[in-house]
Amino acid sequence: MTLDDFDWRRERLHVPMRKGGHHHLYPLTAAAGVAVIEYLRKGRRPSSDRRVFRCVVAPFGPAEHHTVSQRAALYLRRAGIDVRRAGSHTLRHSCVQRLVDAGFDLKTIGDFVGHRQPHTTQIYTKVSVESLREVALARGEGAL
């Protein structure tokens, strides 16, 4: 992600996708904008590089996708979240699963996360164990 991906006037963020060369436009909330500006002013080492996120240890180059995934894995473990393959994809999967659970249609979810084929999004429609538990513990047919 570069500084050029921020459209401050239209309050939009252009997010390039790693797979397939696609991109998405997302709303840029005021809170997110302020956080990025604070990071650039106080959290990032001075650099003329237009890439936003940089490593905090030498050689101080741009943060790559594997760096982000490693950091996500570290903080998932520190939070006590035990998943089979911890990383940034865990966060993506959690987001999609919450959208499915909230009742968003698969086309909307697929567009949001950049799936080109509907069957890719269908992977996330597995049954929620908690939902099944609620139905199993309910009394009478009204629960269905």
4-60 pLDDT, tens digit each: 999 999 999 998 776 666 778 889 999 999 999 999 999 888 889 899 988 877 888
Tell me: pLDDT of 94 over 70: yes
Within 10 A of 121 (CB to CB), how many other CB atoms are there? 22
Going by their DSSP bridges, the two strands 23-27 and 12-16 should be labelled as: antiparallel
60-93 pLDDT, tens digit each: 888 888 888 888 899 999 999 888 888 888 888 8
